[in-house]
Chain A
Amino acid sequence: MLKIDNLQARIEEKEILKGINLEIKPGEVHAIMGPNGSGKSTLASVLAGREDYEVTGGSVDFLGKDLLEMAPEDRAKEGLFLAFQYPVEIPGVSTTNFIKTAVNEKRKYQGLEPLDAAQFLKTMKEKMQLVQINQSLLSRSLNEGFSGGEKKRNEIFQMAMLEPKLGILDETDSGLDIDALRIVANGVNQLRSKDNAFLVVTHYQRLLDYIVPDFVHVLYNGKIVRSGTKELALELEEKGYDFIKAELEATTA
């Protein structure tokens, strides 16, 4: 589904991604962990097509297409979804209206008729259940005045509405209370199928108790320095990143 090969990127003059390799197959969940500033959000942004970042090397294949050649909106319509670490506010635009526009843009791209009000409402009701988000929140301006947790929940709700092939979750767990964490994780689990995949960026092992990953990667200083199974997350939780840093220094020294 997604094949990242030696991806390098910088912002302004600063090198941030220094050769990322990662392959994600349909049905898989990959977790990415790593210290603050190691480049996790940068990776997510580059995949989503944010123009601030300059790709300086490498390639990314998404469902047989050259992802880096595509406009951000086309990446989205091909099935790539990013749940933002910091979702933005759009005053005056209701969440419902926003999502309706998004859903219908995607349908147009797929050559489908736009959903009429009744169909849209029906789908929305179903997906609202999934993440237990309520109607009143969706009538308000997108993310405006939403609490941190509400914003994150709204991201997952949008993901449920858009049914992406690849969902990238950038620290969706941070800011969620314990119950919300379980609800959101459950939502994600229900969306999991053999045809889609998820890339979950997190700092906490706790989330991975709910969304159980097939692989865990450690991103450090712009590179994936360690990959393993879910046990790696437990090890990190226990020991912190220091042991990895120490190992790296030992090998480079």
Chain B
Amino acid sequence: MAEEQEDILEQVTTSEYKYGFVTAIEADEAPKGLTEDTVRFISAKKNEPEWLLEYRLKSYRQWLKMEEPQWPNVTYPKIDFQDIIYYSAPKQKISPKSLDEIDPELRKTFEKLGISLDEQKRISGVAVDAVMDSISVATTFKEELSKVGVIFCSMSEAVQEHPELVKKYLGSVVPATDNYFSALNAAVFSDGSFCYIPKGVRCPMELSTYFRINAANTGQFERTLIVAEEGSYVSYLEGCTAPQRDENQLHAAVVELVAMEKAEIKYSTVQNWYPGDKEGKGGIYNFVTKRGICAGDHAKISWTQVETGSSVTWKYPSVILKGDYSIGEFYSVAVTNNFQQADTGTKMVHLGKNTRSRIVSKGISAGKSQNSYRGLVSVSKNADNARNFSQCDSMLLGDKCGAHTFPYIEVKNNSAVVEHEATTSKIGEDQIFYCNQRGMDTETAVALIINGFAKEVMNQLPMEFAVEAQKLLAISLEGSVG
């Protein structure tokens, strides 16, 4: 009976990655390795102003002095930073003016990913900014957005078109020196998205970016910056995939959010990078720094993430609650299978008065994977009446995987109320049998039970993506329980 369960567990955890294909497009690459010259090469390629080159070089020099973090609950072979290509742009003769001018190969890639740009444009009313390897290829919907004054473009374009905004906010939330990978990103970041929502504007559509790592040995270092001015609102979705390769690929992104008084930013991620194969070979190292600041009173930042991919994930989307009455939220579902390792969570830093934060984390582990929640709630001396509620639930599929919870609480103000609840459960044989008896096979049953477990988080996703995310959970666990 135990064996039988093992068998089914084996099956559900052995599905193959469905987005593993490589696109044959000529790429414009930097030589392998990282030196000051590499940094200069990237900056020159992008025709950047002097201040930005200086920023990159300074970050690079900082990075040289820093050490790779050892504290996360993950293990992986040492990364050879000289064996990585830091810049790879799909070669295109002239920059595309409309969607029709985009390389057909590239278009096909997006179609395989299920994001046909023009389809998206017509049907869903979602603006998509597609980042393949290091260059943002096309930004749709730009005209419509510009009517209300919303700027949504690639970071490279923003550097050229809106240098004052970029200069003002770049590195303002995540300083280059914040950590090893943020310093690296600041030195070599390739591209990413830039959004600016002017005062009082409610962004008329969901903004969306798809990232995809294509070329071999390329690290992807996107840089995203979203600024929401007073009283504005924006909902942003990031989706990621990568082709299947044996070697591990590094991904070290930085995302910065700035919400002014009464502004609200909702940032959702569906992360489906290649997780490696059943033996744990290959996969993406996902070392990401995401942080937002509620700079003004009554501002709100909400992170929602569905993390199913990557071989190693190291990621803590955080909120600095500086404005009084500001709100920070973190909703997360992290699924690990086979040999995946995830160390993810959040930091809620209460600085203002009457600030509130809410953390809901659902970890699902299968196969031989390790899944850790790591969260910090800090309340500073002046943050009167701060409130936090944290709920961390773990579900185990099988007995070869691990779930861990590391909550850190630092309270320096007596009026704070900080609540933490945690549960760990195993998917029940009884539950699966009950579903079987109603005509569902075990995979359908597991998908149903897991989606029920993660419901509170899934409900936070924009409608268009909730269904996708549900399927993704099912796919990630295919072949894993009984």
Partner of A92, one of B433, B440, B453: B453
Closest to A48 in B: B437
**Given A72-B433, A88-B430, also A158-B448 (CB < 8 A):** no
**Given A50-B433, A52-B1, also A101-B453 (CB < 8 A):** no
Most buried by A among B431, B434, B435, B437: B437
> Is A51 on the interface with B (CB-CB < 8 A)?
yes
For A162, the chain B residues whose CB sits under 8 A away are 438-439
- Contact: B436 with A102, CB < 8 Å? no
For B428, the chain A residues whose CB sits under 8 A away are 88
B57-88 contacts to A (CB < 8 Å): none
Interface range on chain B (Cβ under 8 Å from partner) = 20 to 34
Question: With the chains together, A189 CA to B430 CA distance in Å?
Answer: 29
A141-198 contacts to B (CB < 8 Å): 141, 158, 162
> Is A121 on the interface with B (CB-CB < 8 A)?
no
> Is B449 on the interface with A (CB-CB < 8 A)?
yes
Question: With the chains together, A160 CA to B437 CA distance in Å?
Answer: 15
Question: With the chains together, A97 CA to B430 CA distance in Å?
Answer: 19
Give the Cβ gap from A224 to chain B, nearest Cβ, in Å: 23
- Contact: B439 with A90, CB < 8 Å? no
- Contact: B448 with A93, CB < 8 Å? yes
For A75, the chain B residues whose CB sits under 8 A away are 437
> Is A15 on the interface with B (CB-CB < 8 A)?
no
Give the Cβ gap from B478 to chain A, nearest Cβ, in Å: 16
Most buried by A among B4, B430, B442, B455: B430
**Given A92-B452, A93-B451, also A49-B439 (CB < 8 A):** no
A80-95 contacts to B (CB < 8 Å): 81-82, 84, 87-93
Give the Cβ gap from A199 to chain B, nearest Cβ, in Å: 14
- Contact: A98 with B454, CB < 8 Å? no
Give the Cβ gap from B8 to chain A, nearest Cβ, in Å: 9
Closest to A11 in B: B1
B406-457 contacts to A (CB < 8 Å): 428-431, 433-442, 444, 448-449, 451-456
Question: With the chains together, A247 CA to B437 CA distance in Å?
Answer: 38
Give the Cβ gap from A78 to chain B, nearest Cβ, in Å: 9
- Contact: A73 with B440, CB < 8 Å? yes
Give the Cβ gap from A69 to chain B, nearest Cβ, in Å: 15
**Given A88-B434, A92-B453, also A105-B439 (CB < 8 A):** yes
Closest to B438 in A: A102
Closest to A86 in B: B430
Name B's interface SS: helix
Closest to A93 in B: B452
| Number of residue pairs spanning A and B whose beta carbons lie under 8 angstroms apart | 80
For A89, the chain B residues whose CB sits under 8 A away are 431
Partner of A93, one of B4, B441, B442, B449: B449
Give the Cβ gap from A123 to chain B, nearest Cβ, in Å: 15
**Given A92-B451, A93-B452, also A72-B437 (CB < 8 A):** yes
Closest to A158 in B: B438
- Contact: A105 with B444, CB < 8 Å? yes
For A141, the chain B residues whose CB sits under 8 A away are 452
Question: With the chains together, A106 CA to B451 CA distance in Å?
Answer: 21
Closest to B447 in A: A101
- Contact: B439 with A77, CB < 8 Å? yes
Interface range on chain A (Cβ under 8 Å from partner) = 20 to 34
Give the Cβ gap from A18 to chain B, nearest Cβ, in Å: 21
- Contact: B439 with A109, CB < 8 Å? yes
Closest to A79 in B: B439
> Is A76 on the interface with B (CB-CB < 8 A)?
yes
- Contact: A51 with B4, CB < 8 Å? yes
Partner of B439, one of A73, A91, A92: A73
- Contact: A51 with B1, CB < 8 Å? yes
For B451, the chain A residues whose CB sits under 8 A away are 92-93
A87-137 contacts to B (CB < 8 Å): 87-93, 97-99, 101-102, 105-106, 109
Give the Cβ gap from B461 to chain A, nearest Cβ, in Å: 15
For A81, the chain B residues whose CB sits under 8 A away are 437
> Is A71 on the interface with B (CB-CB < 8 A)?
yes
Question: With the chains together, A97 CA to B431 CA distance in Å?
Answer: 15
Question: With the chains together, A105 CA to B11 CA distance in Å?
Answer: 20
Closest to B453 in A: A92
Closest to B449 in A: A90
Q: Per-residue 0/1 for B463-475: is the Cβ within 8 Å of any A Cβ (1 yes, 0 no)?
A: 0000000000000
Give the Cβ gap from B97 to chain A, nearest Cβ, in Å: 43
Most buried by A among B1, B440, B455: B440
- Contact: A73 with B449, CB < 8 Å? no
Q: Per-residue 0/1 for B1-21: is the Cβ within 8 Å of any A Cβ (1 yes, 0 no)?
A: 100100000000000000000
Partner of A91, one of B436, B440, B444, B453: B453
Give the Cβ gap from A180 to chain B, nearest Cβ, in Å: 22
Question: With the chains together, A158 CA to B438 CA distance in Å?
Answer: 9
- Contact: A101 with B444, CB < 8 Å? yes
**Given A73-B436, A76-B438, A92-B454, also A101-B430 (CB < 8 A):** no
Question: With the chains together, A91 CA to B456 CA distance in Å?
Answer: 11
Closest to A161 in B: B438
Give the Cβ gap from A71 to chain B, nearest Cβ, in Å: 7
Closest to A45 in B: B433
Question: With the chains together, A51 CA to B482 CA distance in Å?
Answer: 10
- Contact: B439 with A87, CB < 8 Å? no
**Given A72-B433, A88-B434, A92-B454, also A98-B439 (CB < 8 A):** no
Question: With the chains together, A93 CA to B433 CA distance in Å?
Answer: 15
Give the Cβ gap from B34 to chain A, nearest Cβ, in Å: 46
Question: With the chains together, A75 CA to B435 CA distance in Å?
Answer: 12
For B439, the chain A residues whose CB sits under 8 A away are 73, 76-77, 102, 105-106, 109, 162
- In addition to A73-B436, A93-B448, A93-B452, 12 A-B residue pairs with Cβ atoms within 8 Å of each other are A50-B433, A76-B438, A81-B437, A84-B437, A88-B428, A88-B430, A89-B431, A90-B431, A92-B453, A98-B435, A98-B438, A105-B444
Q: Name 12 A/B residue pairs within 8 A (Cβ), A-sorted.
A: A71-B441, A72-B437, A76-B436, A87-B434, A92-B455, A93-B449, A102-B438, A105-B439, A106-B439, A109-B439, A158-B438, A162-B439
